[in-house]
Amino acid sequence: MIVDLHSAEMIGRGSSRVCYVHPGDALKCIKITYVDNASISREELRHYNRFSRRRISWDMMSRTYGHVRTTLGKGVVFSLSRDYDGSISRTLEYYLQNGLVAPGLLAGALNNFKRYLIRERIVVRELKADNLVYQRLTPSCGKIVIIDGVGNNEFLPLANYSSLFARRTVRRKWGKFRHSLPEHYPANRAAEAVASMLHDELGE
């Protein structure tokens, strides 16, 4: 079966992929790679398969449902985060830039997200505000969900096989993310406030 994406809603476009709402399931999306680099999806799916074998919680990470043929080429199906009102969840970058969610709520959700990464031993290539969405569960409560950037780009990927190295890698990349927020969003009071409330060290 070929999924027709010609009239599907486009959610966003990144440096290598474009994302559409799945026309047959409003809680899923389809990512199409438009650059000549098939290794992007293959590498990502290897990590997702590893997570599946470990039976991790998918509470704060977009889940994959494998490849699909579409009218725009081969794609990969993922879960799609939606807010309590049915709207598609916006990125952390969106909320940092428009101030619609209080910095304290964003920071609290991010600290919970770090606990999730450490608990589930999920290693990412890089934590960036445009790879994370803030899913509003109620008007005053939400959670962070990672939608892209999953994988291990370390020269020696020891974190793929060792719980100790996985947790160390998460903490190191978290520290980089925390310190990068004010740099990536200069003169942005929300980014500065959120960064100041993020914890460098949290319990296991």
Q: Give yes or no for a contact between 192 and 180, defined as CB atoms under 8 angstroms apart.
A: no
Regarding pTM above 0.85, the answer is yes
pLDDT tens for 32-91 read 988 765 555 677 788 888 888 889 999 999 999 989 999 999 999 999 999 999 999 999
The answer to whether position 50 is within a domain reads: yes
The answer to whether position 85 is within a domain reads: no
DSSP string, 107-120: HHHHHHHHHHHHHH
What's the CATH number where 26 sits? 3.30.200.20
Q: How many domains does the chain have?
A: 2
pLDDT at 156: 46
State the residue range of the domain holding 131. 90-197
Residues 73 and 94 in one domain: no
Cβ burial of 99 (10 Å; 0-12, 13-18, 19+) is: exposed
Pick from 20-24, 32-36, 71-75, 199-203: least confident? 199-203
Place of tokens 């990502």: 44
Report the distance separating Cα 36 and Cα 64, nearest Å.
21
The answer to whether position 204 is within a domain reads: no
Residues 62 and 95 in one domain: no
Domain boundary among 31, 59, 79: 79
Pick from 84-93, 153-162, 182-191: least confident? 153-162
